[in-house]
């Protein structure tokens, strides 16, 4: 689908993060993303934070396009292409622990809604914790970590994840967040022999497998991902270390 849609609501999640709802026909699955065109500015990838008839994206303002998106109001138009990517693949019997760091929790909400999985939310501090109430609507257990200890568990999301995995209640971790968090979460899962699926990010242009700008070790994040499992991630030498800038040059993460 490739369409201009009207923003139907804007919700402030924190000082720098907002959720934008819009109506879009067609099926989307948990973990898929759309390319969002902000008229006159740029087109950028955003995970869907709702996948029903009313869909949503949850956007952290970090640069030109995301800041311009934050200026938009109800009834303003944006362009949407997609949904793209593979999404999460889970089975009913999987005992899942979801781990969302920063704005990464937004991409996991559709999966949490479908599975009711227990969830760890990680943030730098209390003010940056987002979507806790939304998560609590679906997850039986929601635990929050803050790096500075200003709310709930004092430590990072991976430390809290390790504590929860020690109870041996889970056989799969599903995660989205900063790559440094995913790097250590993957390391832990690999050591413990626990299945994992993680949503990765790279700079994207086409979003549809054509341009090669999102490649990591020969895999296109937009087409082969953005969700990769533990075994696939173990083979990615650039994971946690190198990304590509808009010109395609490799730079340190
Ligand atoms: C599949 C996918 C799903 C995403 N889902 C979300 C989401 O749900 N919510 C959300 O807020 N963001 C999400 N992002 C990241 C988002 O696309 C970028 O933040 C956005 O493109 C930045 O655009 P900008 O013009 O505002 O910033 P720019 O001015 O382009 O960049 C500002 C800074 O952010 C860095 N940056 C740019 N793009 C990325 C990226 N893809 N990953 C990490 N750092 C980047 C730049 O290197 C620069 O340092 C997703 C990215 C991908 C690939
Ligand atoms: S963004 Fe073009 S191939 Fe992935």
Residues of the chain with pLDDT under 70: none
Residue nearest to atom 32 of ligand 1 (CA): 63
Predicted pLDDT at 138: 96
Predicted pLDDT at 247: 87
Predicted pLDDT at 168: 81
Domain ranges of the chain: 2-84, 96-252
**207 C-beta closer than 6 A to ligand 2:** yes
Predicted pLDDT at 179: 97
- Quick one: which H or E segment has residue 54? strand 54-60
**61 C-beta closer than 6 A to ligand 2:** no
CA distance 117 to 144: 14
Q: Ligand 1 pocket by C-beta < 6 Å: which residues? A: 33, 42, 44-47, 57-60, 62-66, 103, 106-107, 201-204, 226
Q: Where does 71-117 show beta strands of DSSP type E?
A: 77-84, 96-101
**Would you say 85 and 32 are in contact if contact means Cβ atoms under 8 Å apart?**
yes
Q: What would be the CATH architecture of the domain defined by 96-252? A: 3-Layer(aba) Sandwich (3.40)
Contacts of 44 (CB under 8 A, 6+ apart): 35, 36, 38, 65, 66, 204
Predicted pLDDT at 220: 96
Predicted pLDDT at 215: 95
pTM: 0.96
Ligand 2 pocket test, candidate residues 34, 223, 246, most atoms within 8 A of CB? 223
**Would you say 122 and 100 are in contact if contact means Cβ atoms under 8 Å apart?**
yes
Residue that has been written with the tokens 């849609």 in this structure: 5
User: How many angstroms separate the alpha carbon of residue 46 from the centre of ligand 2?
Assistant: 14
Predicted pLDDT at 186: 98
Query: What SS3 class is residue 73?
Result: coil
Predicted pLDDT at 245: 87
CATH topology of domain 2-84: Elongation Factor Tu (Ef-tu); domain 3 (2.40.30)
CA distance 52 to 47: 14
């Amino acid at each position: 689908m490739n369409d201009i849609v009207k923003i139907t609501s804007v919700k402030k999640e924190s000082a720098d993060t907002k959720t934008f709802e819009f109506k879009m026909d067609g099926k989307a699955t948990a973990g898929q993303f759309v390319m969002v065109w902000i008229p006159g500015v740029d087109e950028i990838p955003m995970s869907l934070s709702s996948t029903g008839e009313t869909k949503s994206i949850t956007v952290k303002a970090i640069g030109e396009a995301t800041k311009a998106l934050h200026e938009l109001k109800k009834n303003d138009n944006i362009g949407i292409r997609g949904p793209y990517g593979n999404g999460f693949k889970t089975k009913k019997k999987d005992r899942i622990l979801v781990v969302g760091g920063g704005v990464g929790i937004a991409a996991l909400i559709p999966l949490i809604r479908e599975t009711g999985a227990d969830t760890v939310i990680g943030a730098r501090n209390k003010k940056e914790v987002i979507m806790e109430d939304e998560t609590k609507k679906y997850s039986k257990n929601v635990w929050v970590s803050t790096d500075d200890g200003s709310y709930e568990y004092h430590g990072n999301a991976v430390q809290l994840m390790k504590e929860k995995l020690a109870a041996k209640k889970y056989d799969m971790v599903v995660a989205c967040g900063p790559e440094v968090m995913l790097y250590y979460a993957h390391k832990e899962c690999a050591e413990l022999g626990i299945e994992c699926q993680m949503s990765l990010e790279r700079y994207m242009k086409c979003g549809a497998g054509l341009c090669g700008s999102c490649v990591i070790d020969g895999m296109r994040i937009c087409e082969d991902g953005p969700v990769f499992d533990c075994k696939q991630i173990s083979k990615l030498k650039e994971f946690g270390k190198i990304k590509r800038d808009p010109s395609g040059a490799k730079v340190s993460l």
